[in-house]
Structure 1
Amino acid sequence: MPGAYGSEIMREGQRYRLSFTVGGLLAPQGRILASLFMADGGSSGDLHAPGAELGERIACIRQRAIDGDVLAIRTHAANVRMVREVLKRLSALTERELRYLAAAGTPMDDCRALMWLAMCRYYAIVGEFADEVLRDRYLMGMPTVTRGDHDRFILAKSMWHPELEELSPATAGKLRSNVFKAMGEAGLVEKTDGTLLPSLLGAPLTAILECRPESFAYFPIREH
């Protein structure tokens, strides 16, 4: 499906993707499917620039992941939803990032950071919140990020994006909860009170992200 894969690049009049109602960060699931993709051959890399995102290529393992129930999800419908969601997010990573995510020796903290990066790239509204609120508050020395901060951010964005105004209270609450769940699982905030936690990206991951330095804007870290 055109436009369903890779980073969401916002243009005038474009509506935000707002389907992140599943699961939070999905780091364990992301690592499993990344490993499956690499074991399946991934790609030779010869035809793709090192910084190019996987895009629709990642979808090649979708049916295999579902049929094999590699995520060990009880019902078929839930399995399909989860595989689809994880693959959409992985599509926004580069092959080098995906290889690092799949590698057995990669620290879990770096895997979580990569899945946060994938979520921020695939869902522009999440990436903008990370850049404009999460990181800004950290740089300004503010100790927390709250659900009220998120509500104010969404309200401001809704002036240009009517799809945000059209969200039901239940859906808006679910989206907000999943953003905070993902941030907590990624170790960016304390799960209990929203205290900001500086990101400590591993040296190998930092070197990988140097290829796309805008990626650092999604984390509570000082200017890189």
Structure 2
Amino acid sequence: MPGSYGTETLQGGERYRLSFTVGGLLASQSRIIASLFIDNGYCDQFCREQPDSIELGEYVTLVRKRAIDENVLGIRTQSANARVVNEVLKRLSTLSDVEIRFLADQDVALSDCRALMWVSMCRYYAIVGEFANEVVRDHYLLGDLSVTYEDYDRFMIGKAMWHPELEELSKATQAKLRGNVFKAMDEAELVKRKDNTLLPSILSGSVASILGKRPESFGFFPMRER
């Protein structure tokens, strides 16, 4: 989907989205904002107006003003609040109405929400999804049960051959992006951050059923083909 929202699908010469410097998975925050989307009836509106669309895309921004004005995330400063809300909305934009409803359901286990938000991060940021599929999952399939910063760095060097924007990043930004990916993987229980041990994913039946509608999503987890 072109623009600032929805799953990132790169075509020739396009640059990676590289703004994943905030907050790890943001699962708890995403759950709150997904609930706003449901409460305002926007999921129903979306289904009526765009019945053939898979993702909510920029529809999620309909709750942006309320989320910021009411400070539903309880963040101290307005600038930080807006930054986190915007990041959450970007990731939620890759989800379907079914996935949003699932995320907003307070009876759903937090571990399931984290799995879904890992998927949303991988969809929105193609470079994260490629790392998950080409490094994390491949390590698991090959029996190498660890993923390290060095693995990430080698992966990024390889991608930089075709994406010069990766070489333009400062060392500080590179470190922040890398740290946030590993933080997200730790929160999603894919990797033990303390010793970089890879943890096989065992998705709940509910999550597996939802992701089955877009089976490429299973490739973001250290697991075998379903």
Alignment TM class, shorter chain as reference? over 0.9
Alignment of 1:117-136 (within 5 A): 117-136=119-138
Q: Distance in 2 between matches of 1:148 and 1:43?
A: 42
Query: TM-score when scaled to structure 1?
Result: 0.97
Of 107, 110, 114, the residue aligned with 2:109 is: 107
Of 173, 176, 179, the residue aligned with 1:174 is: 176
Deviations 1:100-128 (A, max 9, x none): 01101111111000110000000000000
Other-structure match for 1:24: 24
Q: Distance in 2 between matches of 1:104 and 1:179?
A: 26
In percent, how many aligned pairs have the same letter? 60
Other-structure match for 2:70: 68
* Residue 52 of structure 1 pairs with residue 54 of structure 2: yes
Tell me which amino acid in the other structure corresponds to 1:217. Answer: G
8 Å CA contact 1:97–1:208 kept in 2: the answer is yes
Deviation of the 1:42 alpha carbon: 2.1
Tell me which amino acid in the other structure corresponds to 1:46. Answer: R
Deviations 1:125-175 (A, max 9, x none): 000000000001011110100000000000000000000000110000000
Deviation of the 1:204 alpha carbon: 1.0
Distance of aligned partners of 1:111 and 1:164 in 2 relative to their CA distance in 1, 3 Å threshold: same
8 Å CA contact 1:50–1:95 kept in 2: the answer is no
Deviation of the 1:47 alpha carbon: 3.7
SS state at 2:25 partner: coil
Other-structure match for 2:197: 195
SS state at 1:160 partner: coil
Other-structure match for 2:216: 214
Distance of aligned partners of 1:5 and 1:201 in 2 relative to their CA distance in 1, 3 Å threshold: same
Other-structure match for 1:5: 5
Q: Which runs of 5+ in 1 are unaligned?
A: none
Q: Distance in 2 between matches of 1:51 and 1:220?
A: 29
8 Å CA contact 1:51–1:212 kept in 2: the answer is no
SS state at 1:24 partner: coil
Q: Size of the alignment, in residue pairs?
A: 223
Other-structure match for 1:36: 36
RMSD: 1.1
Deviation of the 1:43 alpha carbon: 2.7
Query: TM-score when scaled to structure 2?
Result: 0.96
Tell me which amino acid in the other structure corresponds to 2:186. Answer: G
Tell me which amino acid in the other structure corresponds to 2:20. Answer: F
